[in-house]
Amino acid sequence: MFNLKIILSLILTLIFSNFSVVQSKDNKEKYYNNLTKDWRIIFPDGNRNAAGPKFFKYISDKYTNFEEFQEYNKLYCAVSGSLISPGSKPEFINLKEDETSKNICGYYYKCCWPCVCDVMKYAKVTKIKKKFQDGTKDLYALIIDNPCIKKDFPKKVNRSYFCDGNILDKKQVATHNDKIIIGLLYDAKYCQPSDLRKIYSNKITGRLCPIRNSTPINELSSGMGDIFIKLAR
C-alpha cells in the first residue's frame, strides 16, 4: 500500500508538472498574440525601428500583474523593437551600472546576436522600483541617455515616439532620471569573476561582439546597423 501511494503521488506530480508546462507555453503564445494584435496601437505608423521603449511603456501601463509584466517584456528586443518568439533563449551579458559603473550581469532577450553586442556597449542598467497588484518589485532597467537633444537623430526612427521637442515625452516612454528605459535585464546581479569568464568565453559575447563593437559605424550592416547606435551613443 505504501509503495502504491508513492507511485500514485509520482504520477500526479508528473501530470500536474506537464500541465503547468503546457499552460505556461499557452500563456506565452497568448501574450505574443496580444502584442501582435496591438501592434498598430503601439506603433501607429508601423515603424518599430529601435522602439523598444514604446513596448516597455505600453506593457508598463497595461499590465499590472508582475508575472504577466515580466513575461510580456521578454517578447520584444529592446534594441531593435522587433518581436521575439515565445520561449526564445536569452543571452547572458554584462553592462555597466549607471550610478557606479560596476559590472551588472543578467539575461537579455534578443531578436539577433548583433543586438546583444549593441546593448552591451551602448546601454546601461539601473535598479528601479515599480508598483504592481502584488506589491512593489525591484527591476533592472536598461537605459540610454535622452536622444531627443541629438542633432543626428537617426532618420529611420520615429522621433515623435520618443520626444516632445528636446525632452522625453513621458506620455509615450518611461524614464528614470531623465534617461529613457528601453527594456529589462533579467535575474540581474553584480558580476562575479566566474560570470565574466563565462561571458568572455561565449561565442557571441566573447568572440563576435568585440569584432562588431570595434567596426566603424558606417560599415555595420547586420542587426539594426547604425540605427540604434546613433540613437544611444
- Closest to 78 measured CA to CA, from 180, 220, 214: 180
Q: Where are the domains of the chain?
A: 1-37, 42-232
Percent pLDDT > 70 in the chain is: 88
Give the pLDDT band of residue 70 (cuts 50, 70, 90).
very high
Cut 0.85: pTM above it? yes
For 104, phi then psi, to 5°, come to: -110, 130
pLDDT over threshold 90, residue 13: no
pLDDT mean across residues, the chain? 91
* pLDDT at position 20: 41
Give the pLDDT confidence of 123-143 residue by residue, as tens digits.
999 999 999 999 999 999 999
- At 3 the pLDDT is 63
Count of CA atoms in the C-beta half-sphere (13 A) of 130: 24
Residue 22 pLDDT more than 80? no
Q: Smallest Cα–Cα separation from 36: which of 18, 16, 15, 58?
A: 58
pLDDT of residue 224: 75
- H or E segment and range at residue 122: helix 113-122
The pLDDT tens digits for 177-207 are 999 999 999 999 999 999 999 999 999 999 9
Return the pLDDT at 19.
43
167-178 confidence digits (pLDDT tens): 999 999 999 999
More confident: 154 or 4 = 154
What pLDDT shows up at residue 203?
96
Torsion of CA 108, 173, 81, 135, to 10 degrees: 40
**Stretch 29-50: mean pLDDT, rounded?**
95
